Each structure stands twice: as structure tokens, then as C-alpha cells.
Chains A and B, each alone.
Chain A
Amino acid sequence: MYVSTRTMGFARSWAELWHERDVVRAFAARSLRVRYRQAVLGVGWAVIQPLALLVPFAVFLRRTSGRPGGVPYAASTLAALVAWTFLSGAVTNGAGALVAESVLVRKTWFPREAPVLAAVLAALVDLALGLVMVAIVGPFLGARIGRSIVWLPVVVLALAFVATAIAIPLAALNALYRDVRHALAFVMLLWLFLSPVAYPLDRLAPGRRVAMAFANPATGPLDAFRRIVAEGRAPQVGLLAASCASALVVGLAGHVAFRRLAPLLSDVV
């Protein structure tokens, strides 16, 4: 029984999302199919973007960054770029998802989180392609893989969690206020340089690393990703946990804000 005055509690709204998971899957399948049917580069974008960004980074920043984890700069940075491509794609597309589906938002009901989650899922497919690329190209750049690779599912989950936690509130804000998307492009750029992508985390003093892991929830998962995929080292679990805790706080607050704003969306999007 739906009653308009009741805002659903967390448990019920997650239960409803799970009940409607086919809707999420449908949104994701739809955007993936359309993307890969239309663009010539559709499939290749997940692979080309990290490779292309690697070139200027490797040429200009290699000297100052040394050899992260003992492997060449290019190898570790390529892995970080693949993870970053996922993160920025998931957050950008997720934040824009409700505006992209504005027609449906105005005309039908579905759990408003669905298109945002679908964008993260679609970005995960890109991440898989990126991993395949790194598996092939990595060894040529000097990447190493060790037993720590078993951490991959956990780290990918952490990346997806961070992306979702940030995309959800942004999606609602973007749908309500039109200037958010302009700020978003700039913020993503800033975020790239504030995250250990172009440079390894080892550059920071150990004390500072934890603070950064809390302040920027992308820190832990990104650092863990490059360690296990290219450096053959174990991830720093403490940093990973700190980032996930930070993302949890942001995510919960963000979801609460999202559910408050969601009923207004169909009137203004």
C-alpha cells in the first residue's frame, strides 16, 4: 500500500530497490546496447581513454614520481588510470542519469535510484574491458602481478561503492539545479589531481595518507587497485577501510537527501 505522506525508511527503500532490480538491469542494458550500437568507438572508449591519458603523464611526470612499488611508472599509472576512468565515468554518467531519463521521470514511476545505479553498472562493464587491456599491455610496461590479485573483487566493489555514494546525491542535485553539471566537469578534473592517479600515494608522508584516505574516499580503492593490478603488492587495508568508511558516511547522508528530493524531481526535471 503506497501512502504519499510516508517517506520510506531505509530498510524498506532498499527492499523496494531489490524488488525492482530488473528495472536497474533494464536501464543498464539499454544504455550499454545503445552505446555500443551507435558509436564506432563504443567498445574502445574504455580502453583508449586510459591509454591516451597515460602518454602525457608518463612523459612529464615520470621523473618526479619514481618507481611506485618498484615497477615502472607507466605500468602502475596505467592501472590507476583504468580505475579512474571507471570512477569518473560512473560518477559523471550517474550524476546525469536522471536528467538523461527526464522524459521517463516525468511520465512513469520507478525507483529514482535506478538510472544512477545502472550508470555505475554500465561503467563496471567498461572497467572489465579496461582490466583486459591492462592484462595484455601491462607486462610490456613492466607490471607485476602477485597473489594479492585475489583482492580484486573486493577492491572493485569498493570502487563501485565510492562511485555510487557520490553519484546518488549528485544525481538529485543535478536534476534540480541546472548549473551543477557545469561545476561537475571542473570538480572531476580537480578530483583527478587530488587522487593518487598521476602520482603514487607513496609520495605522501605516512601520516598524511590516512587523512587523505578519509578526505578523498577515492584514495584507498585507487591505491589498492594499482598495487594489486600492476605492482604485485598487497593493498593497504587500513587506507581502504578508511576510504570506505568515509564513503559510507557520504553515501548515507547522500541517500537521505536523495530520498527527500526525489518526489520533487518529476515536477522540475
Chain B
Amino acid sequence: MTAALVFEGVTKRYRGAAGYRSLRSELSQRRRRDVRPAPQAALDGVSFEVGAGESVGIIGPNGAGKSTALRLAARITRPTDGVVRVRGRVGALIEVGAGIHPELTGRENIWLYGAILGLSRRTIAARFDDVVAFAELEHALDLPVKRYSSGMQLRLGFSIAAAVTPDVLVVDEALAVGDARFQVRCLERMAALVREGAAVVYVSHDLASVQTSCRRALLLIDGVVAADGAVDETIGSYLRWIAQTGDSDAGDCVLGGDGRPRTVFATGDPLTMRVPLDAASDQPVNVALGIRDGNPWNILGASTTVAAGAIDGALLCHIPSLPLESGVYEVWVSIEGQDPNGSWRKLGAFRVTGGDERPRPVWLPPITMAERWEVQPR
């Protein structure tokens, strides 16, 4: 299998301070030989290969260099050191909709944004109907995009970008916005591209969706490849790292039966979820907890009302026996009053191992019922 994307010892350092740069000061600085502090390396000696038809996830904490790696793969920027090789055309789904112009109609944007992304007029003509159907915008095609809702704009941007059939596709959490149904279709589109032989690199914080979409994953920590292998193992390494370093992202929010932070459980184990609370409210506060398996909805949940001003510390939710099959799960929380409009935010993540590790059919949620089958003769 030929490699479609190769990183060889790639290092990327961003120059100096961001902000106003003037030609005048640049020229005068050179004469004075100011010593500038050496900038941090966003990526340091990163090497990996992605083959055609392979789908690789990149996970890691914020600032680890994931987005930088994608931008390097998409030819948007160049490495300071090392080599990036790409075979064929790259499609980048990084904040889709950047090229859409609000004054033009949806139809005009499909033609023009599609061309900017590199599609020939013939290809756009051939795929036009598909794009419109995927975006579900048949009725709004001839309205200026500034009249579209933000959801419609996102769908338009994504459908146009998805119409490009690149040899290498890089996706940077562009799916993080948009409604659930659309996100599912986007992941399906990604999978279809993989089947057709594209190499896909998928960066996401959503560990469960990385597990469903990719067979292999890279773990980037502080600009260095900390792990590269089967997606399950890499996710496990990441969760272990989180537990060790107490990353506030997930650190002490998932506890085992002994009250200590834990990332790996077996089906039926006791599990405690811990929600830090500010005692600021003088009204009863509704706290909702949800467990997700990579889809943007909760598969298990619980909520409770906390009396006003009663807690300065954390709220614990004890589950005596975890009814989840093996997989990667995330804990989300929504606190009335703290999270606007009842929005949810991620609190932590954990893994369940053991049991049946075979891929489960889509219709079967990963919840055990401890069922028993029996045939009843007539």
C-alpha cells in the first residue's frame, strides 16, 4: 500500500509574537540585532505514514499540535524542519464555510466556493444535485446566504467541501457544530471516502467518535508522537496519561468504587461521577449528568436538584453497577445557571474493557440488560 501522506521528522515552530508586524520595525530590528526568545515548537520531530484507504485519528490534549499537523498535511503551511509528502490532492475540512460569501446565493456559492476548493466546472455540474441534496437546501438555493440560519450555512459549507473527492482528507473537528443527524451523515461521508481509497486523518476531542471512525490513532502530546497504533490502545494510553497528569479536562471526574480516579472499568463495576460545584447560587440548582458513546446524545443519564448554597465542593453521582458494554465513553454535564440555555459540556472520559469486543451492530446500544433468553413452546 503506497503511502498517501508522510511526515518525516517534521518540526514546526511559529515565529515570534503574533500581532502587529510592521516593515519599518522589521528593518530596524535587523540592524540592532535584537535577540528574540526562541519560540516553542508546536511539533517536534513528528514522523508517521498514512496509506491510501486508511483512516487515522489524531488525539491529544489541547495545544499538542494536532491542528498544526493537519495544516501541514493540507499544504496550508510548511514545516520549519523535516519533510511532508502528499500523494494526490488534499481536502481539508477545517472550519468549513470559510470561503462562502454571504452576499451571494447558495447556488452561486456552490459554483464559486467549489471552484476555489479546486473542483473543475464539469465536476461541479455533475455533483451539483448531490451537494444540494446532502445539504437539504433545495428550497433556499437562490436566496443570499446571509439569509440562511447558521445551521444551513454549515450544511452548505460542508456539502461543498465534501463534494471534493480528495486523495487525502483531513478533518479538524469541523463536525463539532451542527445538529446530531447532520454529524452522523458527515461521519458516513468520511467512511465512504475511506472505502473509495482516500486516506483520512481525523482530529477530534471526541474519543468515542474517533474509535468508531478510525482503526488506527496517533497520540500527540506536547508536539511529540506519544503513541501510534490500534485505536483502542492509543485511546487507552491517552486516558492513562490524563489520569496521571490530572488534566483538568478529565482528571478527577470519574472515580472507581474506592473513590480514586480511574479510567478503565469492567461491565458491572461501580463508578462515581464527580461534578465540581460553586456554592454561588442562592436558588436550587438542577444538575444533569449524561454518558455518551460518541454520538451527540446521552445514552444514560441522571439528574438531581441541589438545594441552594448547600455545597462548596463537588457533587457525586454513584452508579453501583455500570451497565455498559466495552467501549469508550464520555461524561457530560449540564448545570442549570452555569451552562447557558441548558447546554452540555464534557467532564471526563473512561473506558470499559473485557466482555465482547466484537464490533456491535448500529442498532444495538452498548447497554447491558443482563437478559436471559428462553424459548417457549406453544
- B20, B99, B116, B121 — most chain A CB neighbours (10 Å): B116
Interface string of A111-150 (1 = CB under 8 A from B): 0000000000000000000000000000000000000000
Q: CB distance B83 to A178 under 8 Å?
A: no
Q: Which residue of A lies closest to B12 (CB)?
A: A267
Which of A34, A107, A176, A263 lies in contact with B103, CB distance below 8 A?
A34
Q: CB distance B23 to A22 under 8 Å?
A: no
A266 contacts chain B at the CB level, 8 A cutoff: yes
B317 contacts chain A at the CB level, 8 A cutoff: no
**What is the bound-complex CA distance between A267 and B67, given in angstroms?**
12
Q: CB distance B21 to A177 under 8 Å?
A: yes
A212 contacts chain B at the CB level, 8 A cutoff: no
Which of B14, B78, B116 lies in contact with A108, CB distance below 8 A?
B116
- A2, A183, A266 — most chain B CB neighbours (10 Å): A2
Q: CB distance B87 to A30 under 8 Å?
A: no
A151 contacts chain B at the CB level, 8 A cutoff: no
Interface string of A21-37 (1 = CB under 8 A from B): 01101110110011001
**What is the bound-complex CA distance between A33 and B78, given in angstroms?**
33
Q: CB distance B116 to A104 under 8 Å?
A: yes
- B24, B104, B111, B118 — most chain A CB neighbours (10 Å): B118
Q: CB distance A22 to B121 under 8 Å?
A: yes
A4 contacts chain B at the CB level, 8 A cutoff: yes
**What is the bound-complex CA distance between A1 and B83, given in angstroms?**
12
Q: CB distance A20 to B118 under 8 Å?
A: yes
B346 contacts chain A at the CB level, 8 A cutoff: no
Which of A25, A37, A263, A267 lies in contact with B14, CB distance below 8 A?
A267
**What is the bound-complex CA distance between A110 and B113, given in angstroms?**
12
Residues of the A chain whose Cβ atoms lie less than 8 Å from the Cβ of B24: 179
Q: Report A63-113 residues with CB < 8 Å from chain B CB.
A: 103-104, 106-110
Q: Which residue of B lies closest to A173 (CB)?
A: B23
**What is the bound-complex CA distance between A1 and B87, given in angstroms?**
5
Q: CB distance A263 to B78 under 8 Å?
A: yes
**What is the bound-complex CA distance between A29 and B114, given in angstroms?**
13
Shortest beta-carbon distance from A172 to chain B in Å = 12
Q: CB distance A2 to B20 under 8 Å?
A: no
User: Do A180 and B23 contact each other (CB < 8 Å), given the known contacts A22-B115, A38-B103, A104-B99?
Assistant: yes
**What is the bound-complex CA distance between A26 and B90, given in angstroms?**
19
Q: Which residue of B lies closest to A115 (CB)?
A: B116
Q: CB distance A1 to B85 under 8 Å?
A: yes
Interface string of B18-44 (1 = CB under 8 A from A): 101111101000000000000000000
Shortest beta-carbon distance from B19 to chain A in Å = 9
Report the contact-size class of chain A (Cβ under 8 Å from the partner). Answer: 35 or more
Q: CB distance B21 to A109 under 8 Å?
A: no
Report the contact-size class of chain B (Cβ under 8 Å from the partner). Answer: 35 or more
Which of A20, A26, A109, A178 lies in contact with B76, CB distance below 8 A?
A109
B15 contacts chain A at the CB level, 8 A cutoff: yes
Q: CB distance A178 to B20 under 8 Å?
A: yes
A268 contacts chain B at the CB level, 8 A cutoff: yes
Q: CB distance B79 to A34 under 8 Å?
A: no
User: Do A107 and B26 contact each other (CB < 8 Å), given the known contacts A2-B75, A2-B86, A5-B83?
Assistant: no
A11 contacts chain B at the CB level, 8 A cutoff: no
A40 contacts chain B at the CB level, 8 A cutoff: no
**What is the bound-complex CA distance between A26 and B111, given in angstroms?**
8
Q: CB distance A177 to B98 under 8 Å?
A: no
Q: CB distance A27 to B21 under 8 Å?
A: no
Residues of the A chain whose Cβ atoms lie less than 8 Å from the Cβ of B120: 22
Shortest beta-carbon distance from A111 to chain B in Å = 10
- B24, B112, B114 — most chain A CB neighbours (10 Å): B112
Which of A33, A103, A267 lies in contact with B104, CB distance below 8 A?
A33
Which of A30, A37, A109 lies in contact with B75, CB distance below 8 A?
A109
Q: Which residue of A lies closest to B91 (CB)?
A: A108
- A20, A23, A108 — most chain B CB neighbours (10 Å): A108
Shortest beta-carbon distance from B54 to chain A in Å = 18
Residues of the A chain whose Cβ atoms lie less than 8 Å from the Cβ of B173: none
**What is the bound-complex CA distance between A23 and B120, given in angstroms?**
9
A3 contacts chain B at the CB level, 8 A cutoff: yes
Residues of the A chain whose Cβ atoms lie less than 8 Å from the Cβ of B98: 103-104, 106-108
Shortest beta-carbon distance from B100 to chain A in Å = 10
User: Do A4 and B94 contact each other (CB < 8 Å), given the known contacts A108-B116, A179-B22, A180-B23?
Assistant: no
B117 contacts chain A at the CB level, 8 A cutoff: yes
- B24, B77, B115 — most chain A CB neighbours (10 Å): B115
B101 contacts chain A at the CB level, 8 A cutoff: yes
Q: CB distance A4 to B116 under 8 Å?
A: no
Q: Which residue of A lies closest to B120 (CB)?
A: A22
Q: CB distance B86 to A108 under 8 Å?
A: no
**What is the bound-complex CA distance between A110 and B14, given in angstroms?**
21
B71 contacts chain A at the CB level, 8 A cutoff: yes
Q: Which residue of B lies closest to A114 (CB)?
A: B116
User: Do A176 and B21 contact each other (CB < 8 Å), given the known contacts A4-B84, A22-B121, A27-B116?
Assistant: yes
Hey, which bits of chain A sit against chain B, CB under 8 A?
A: 1-5, 20, 22-23, 25-27, 29-30, 33-34, 37-38, 103-104, 106-110, 173, 176-180, 183, 263-264, 266-268
The 4 closest A-B pairs by CB, nearest first: A26-B115, A177-B23, A263-B78, A179-B22
A sample of 19 more A-B contacts (CB under 8 A), given A2-B84, A4-B85, A177-B23, is: A1-B85, A5-B83, A20-B118, A23-B116, A26-B116, A29-B112, A34-B101, A104-B98, A106-B98, A107-B94, A107-B98, A108-B92, A108-B117, A178-B21, A178-B22, A264-B15, A264-B78, A266-B71, A268-B18
23 A-B pairs whose Cβ atoms sit less than 8 Å apart in the complex: A1-B86, A2-B84, A2-B90, A4-B83, A22-B120, A22-B121, A23-B115, A30-B104, A30-B116, A34-B101, A37-B104, A38-B103, A103-B99, A104-B99, A106-B98, A107-B94, A107-B95, A177-B23, A179-B24, A264-B78, A268-B15, A268-B18, A268-B21
